[in-house]
Structure 1
Amino acid sequence: MPVAYTIQPTFAIDDTSLLETDLTTCHLVVLVGKGTFSYAVYTAAMRKFLALKSYSFQPATGAVAELEMIEQVFDADKLLLTAFKEVLLAFDTADNTLVPEMFYGAQLKKDFLHVAHQEKMQEAVLTDTLPELGMVNVYATDKDILGFLRKEFSTDKVVHAHTALLKAYNQDPDIHSPDGTVFIEVQQQKFTLTLYSSGNLLLQQQFTYKSGLDVVYYAVNALRQLQLSEQDVRVKLGGALEEHSQVYQELYKFIPKLSWVQRPDGFSFLAKMQEVPSHHFHNLYALALCV
C-alpha cells in the first residue's frame, strides 16, 4: 500500500507583474533542503524578485520519500514547468566542507569530503569554487534527487546553499571587525554558523539543535575556541524567526550585539516581500548572487 504524503505550500508571494512578465527571460532559483522545497523567480535585467514559494513535507523519511514528495510538488505547481531562461539548483545539506583552493585537487574531492563526513549510499559529490575567498566548497547530495531535478529543469547549474550564504555575507562590512562577526542561519532543527574576524572566514558549519540553548552553546563554544568574546562579537540571525522565538530569546541573554541579517544588496523586491522581515528567506534570496 503506497504511503500518502501531505505536501502543502507554507508560504507564497507574487503579484500581477508575474503574469505580465515573459518568464523565458527570467531565472528560477530552487533551494532543496530536508523536508523543504523553495523557489524564487528572479529577473536579472531588473535585478528584481517577482515570486517566491516554499513547501514543507510531512513526513520526511529518507531520500526516496523526499523524491516522491518533490515529484508531487511538480504535479501541483505548474509554474515549475515554465521554460525559464536559466534554473539554478541549490542543496542545503550538512555534508559539505571548505577546502583552501591552493590545496584542492579535483581527483581528491571525495577524500576531502569524507575526512569530515561519512560516505553515504547514492551520493553525488560536487564542488563550488569561491575565488573571492580562495576556497572550494565540496559537498554531497542525493544522486536520485539531483538527477530528477536536473532532468525536469534541463539544467546543470548546481550550488550548495552555504556557497550562496558566503557570497551574501561577503557583502557585509561588519565581517572586517576584529571583534568578530557571526551569522546564524536557523532552520527547523538545524542551523548554519559562519564566523568571521578581521575579514577572514574562520568557520562555517551546520549543527542540529533541539532548543535555543543548544544554539547558544555551539555559538559561544566556537567563539571561545577562536579566542573571541561573546560580549564583543556581532551576531546576525537569519531564518523564519521572530523576537519572541526561543532561539532569539536565549541568544539575547548572552549576546549583547544581536541583530537580524539583511537581504542581499543590489536587488529589488515586491512590496509584499518587503513586508516580510528581512531575515526571512535570506538563504533563498542569496542564491541570486550565484546566477
Structure 2
Amino acid sequence: MGIINITLHPHNPQRYVDLFSKLFSLDIMADTAMNHKMFLGRVSSIVEDKPLGGLAGEFYRFFNLDKRSAWISTATRTALKRSEANRVKDIPDDLKPDASSFQFVFYPHQHRLVFTLRGQYFENSLVNPRTPPSMSPHTLVNVLNQLFAAPEIVKEFGSVEVTAEPRKEKLEEMLVLKRMQHFRVELTRPNPDDFAALERRYLKKLDDQNVRQQTIELRAAKASGIKLDDDMKELARIAASNGKVEVEGYNEQDKKVYESTEEHPQTDTVTYNPKLQQPVQVLAERALDFVRRVVGRN
C-alpha cells in the first residue's frame, strides 16, 4: 500500500467527495510511463450511501496505442506502406490494450488516499502475466496532478495539492545530518485540521499573506554545517506531508549525501488470500489503520 495526502482549501469532507465525483464524470486522462495513460475508472462509497465514511474505487491504466504511428511486419521484416497500415483503423478507438487496474480507498475526513502498489490485469487477458503491474507513489502523484489540473476541476475546486507521505524515520535522519550544507523546504498550504495549535501558526502566516506555497532555503556559513532549531524542524515535518524537504551535506564518513522526502515514500505490506478476498476488500479493512499510523490522528 502507498499513501497520498490530497488537500483542498477550504477544507470540507464533502468537497473531497464532490472532487472525486466530478473527476469521475469527466473524460480526462493522464500520461504515465511507457506510453500508458490512466484515468479514474470507478468510485463509490465503501458503505452504501455513506460517502463521508470513505470511498473505494480503481484507477485504470492502458497502453496508448497510436494507430497513426509507423507499423512494421515482424513476418516480412519490412515497414508497412501507408496504404497497408490503414487496416489498423478497424480497431475501435475506445478499445485499448494492456489494460490493468489499481485499487484505492479515500477517506474524506483525513483526506488521505491509500492505493495498491501492485495492480491487476483484467481477466479478459489472453495471457497470464507472471508479474502484476506496478505503480509507485511518485507515479500516482504525477497522475493525480495531471487529472486535478483539468480546467473543470480548477474552476470548481481551485488548486488541489497532492503529496506522497514520506517515511517519518527517514525525515528524522535527514534533520540530524551532522554536516548539513544545504537545507530546503517547499511548503504548500496545509490543512489546519492536521496539526496542533503550535503548527497552525504557519498556516496562519500563509493565509495572512495570501500565499499558496512557501520555499525556505538555508546554506551553511561554515563547513561544520547548518544547525536547525526546533521551529525549523517542525516546519520540515509539516512540509514533508505538504510539499517536500531536501538536505545536502556530508555524513560521518565524509561522503557527500543528498536526500529528499520525495525519494522515500511511506508504504506498507498486507498479505491476503486472493482466492477468498479482493484487493479492494483488503484495503477497506486495513487502510484506515495505516492512515492513522502515518498521520497520527483518528
Fold in common (TM above 0.5): no
Given the two structures, how large is their TM-score scaled by the length of structure 2?
0.26
The structure, 1 or 2, with the larger RCO (C-alpha pairs under 8 Å, 6+ apart) is 2
Rg larger in 1 or in 2? 2
